């Protein structure tokens, strides 16, 4: 069993590379952004709580996100392992995840950090916005807020995993295939 955190700024390619990881390693994927969008679409109470934050490119409060992840883990106790995509995004979330996994007798195996320069991120997000239908991808101001949230609140999560010696930096610029080759080599080395 291995649990992986796929880490990186918005537009780094986490969703795309998650799909490859699921296929290759048979892990259960949890994207907190996708889960929130599902709740928004279904008009649930949780979706209502998240809406204004998401619309403005801000992070949803920790307790809302952590509760949602806890429910997901509880509903998937038969999984071989998890890919956490877009979570944790604050140090409080990373600490809560360690506690949650330890209560399921498991832990994070490695944190893969996709490294992509800022100007490339903006280009990718605006391009994705043309087809994704995501309002937060279509407006440069919102993209800037999301990148700022990443730099202020999410980047410290990298140090959290570095302290645990679990960080593995991956160059996130190149072809999808070449980036995935680096990712799968890193995962395989942690599984050995």
**Piece of the chain touching ligand AMP by CB under 6 A; list 22-30, 84-92, 156-164, 177-185:** 84-92
The yes-or-no answer on residue 89 being catalytic is yes
Give the start-end residues of each E strand in 117-184: 167-171
Which C-beta is closer to ligand AMP: that of 142 or that of 182?
A: 142
**Which residue is it, tokens 């998890």?**
82
Output 91 or 107, the one with its CB closest to ligand AMP.
Answer: 91
* Closer residue to ligand AMP in complex, CB, 145/186: 145
Nearest to 73 by CA among 117, 42, 107, 119: 107
125 binds ligand AMP (CB under 6 A): no
Q: Which of 27, 59, 110, 147 binds ligand AMP (CB under 6 A)?
A: 59
Strand partners, 85: 6, 31
Q: Please confirm, yes or no, whether 124 is among the known catalytic residues.
A: no
150 binds ligand AMP (CB under 6 A): no
Decide if 123 is catalytic: no
CA distance linking residue 110 with residue 135, whole number of Å = 32
Q: What are phi and psi of 55, to 5 degrees?
A: -60, -30
CA 169 to chain centre: 15
- Any contact of residue 172 with ligand AMP (CB under 6 A)? no
Q: For residue 178, which of 114, 83, 84 has the smallest C-alpha distance?
A: 114
Q: Per rule CB under 6 A, is residue 142 in the interface with ligand AMP?
A: no
51 a catalytic residue: no
Q: What Cα–Cα distance (Å) separates residue 84 from each residue in 5, 161, 180?
A: 5, 14, 16
- The distance from CA 29 to its chain's CA centroid, rounded to whole angstroms, is 10
Binding residue (CB under 6 A) for ligand AMP from 110, 146, 161, 170: 146
In the complex, which residues of this chain contact ligand AMP (CB under 6 A)? Answer: 10, 32-33, 36, 53-54, 57-60, 65, 86-87, 89, 93, 136, 146
Give catalytic residues, as residue numbers. 14, 89, 128, 134, 146
């Amino acid at each position: 069993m291995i649990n992986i955190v796929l880490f990186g700024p918005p537009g780094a390619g986490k969703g795309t590379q998650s799909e490859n990881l699921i296929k290759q390693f048979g892990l259960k994927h949890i994207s907190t952004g996708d889960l929130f969008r599902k709740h928004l679409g279904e008009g649930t109470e949780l979706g209502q709580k998240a809406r204004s934050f998401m619309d403005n490119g801000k992070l949803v409060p920790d307790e809302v996100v952590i509760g949602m992840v806890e429910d997901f883990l509880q509903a998937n106790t038969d999984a071989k392992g998890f890919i956490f995509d877009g979570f944790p995004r604050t140090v409080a979330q990373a600490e809560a995840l360690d506690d949650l996994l330890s209560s399921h007798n498991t832990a994070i195996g490695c944190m893969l950090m996709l490294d992509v320069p800022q100007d490339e991120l903006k280009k990718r997000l605006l391009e994705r916005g043309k087809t994704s239908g995501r309002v937060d991808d279509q407006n440069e101001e919102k993209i800037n807020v999301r990148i700022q949230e990443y730099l202020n609140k999410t980047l410290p999560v990298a140090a959290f995993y570095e302290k645990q010696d679990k960080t593995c930096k991956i160059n996130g610029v190149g072809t999808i295939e070449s980036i995935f080759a680096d990712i799968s080599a890193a995962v395989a080395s942690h599984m050995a």
